[in-house]
Structure 1
């Protein structure tokens, strides 16, 4: 901490995103999409398929929500659409099998994630805010072995300024911070809710989650890895 500064637990609430912030997630989607593109190669070019799938996902988010189930349902819809209904049952069957596989993949926690969270716990209330399918997110949290580190866990259908404002309003702390890999979901809406937004870029980002960084906002910061977070907190406190 800065000289003369003493942080105590009620001073900060630090919230972490889960997927691609604490553990791998988008990698599995990328591998599944590559196979999806191979299956439909005779009907549509990969870049066109990706555009059509993203459009379907955007249409369906309000119905299916975020996560593997919505992705697979949108993939099936897209397969039917781009083939004018000629897609074979074998493709649908394989897509469903890939979805089941994604929902049972072992959780691979990023190196340094636990250490970074543990370093913050002495002077911050640490919570998890993640979106997506409730069952899948609960499964991944349990398998990650990180659940014992969080003072609270919030699994939400979407991350908006109102959602962040409600969550942070329930915490009895003077300062709030959201840490995550998505500018669109983790950083920008958290800043809009009055919190600090800390971006930890990951090499794979779903097109839906891409956005311009609010580089001029005084509450925006970017770090290369979670290991830099304790030092960042020292710097801004």
Structure 2
């Protein structure tokens, strides 16, 4: 029963950045750690399965200890890389506390497999759901920008404020970015992605009513390059339709 509950918690942790709700800065880092645990934890699976049959076998106990140590170090290093040394240290302390309790090999067989299978099953539907939700929730902001244009004859230069007011409604999406460009504007957000989905890829979803989307890799390019050069060399490796009219996704590696 405890394995089932932990499996459900692990899947919830993986799915968290893609679920509806206010922005949670820990949602994506914790999800990433759970996903890495699923991949690196396969070492623990391989060394724990024999212990289900031969629980006192010294060789497999040592092998499991080595595998769990590698898994712990990998997850802790990923935590430090994602959110700094404090989270990395916390992950390592948690691992040590768990291992000190000497849990049954069943946990180290079931949980990594659940995490890995969860990524494979949830990847596409949750990513699409998060994208569609954030795009749909931008409608109010777009309507307000267009009303500002209709009422005052121009788009706002910026929307920098203490309270953003318009929220994507996805736990792993920090917020919308607004940028005026000539007689049009961009509204964009970064979409959370599964760690092993096109490894290293970042996805930005951009709205531009004139279909002149601009999503450069570096702020310095905007300052140093001409508009023509920026538009011809933005830095993304793929652009695709993001659903509703005037929305596009840009993938960066």
Q: TM-score, normalised by structure 2?
A: 0.23
Which protein has the bigger helix share? 2
Higher relative contact order (CA 8 A, sep 6+): 1
Q: TM-score, normalised by structure 1?
A: 0.24
Looking at CA atoms only, which structure, 1 or 2, has the larger radius of gyration?
2
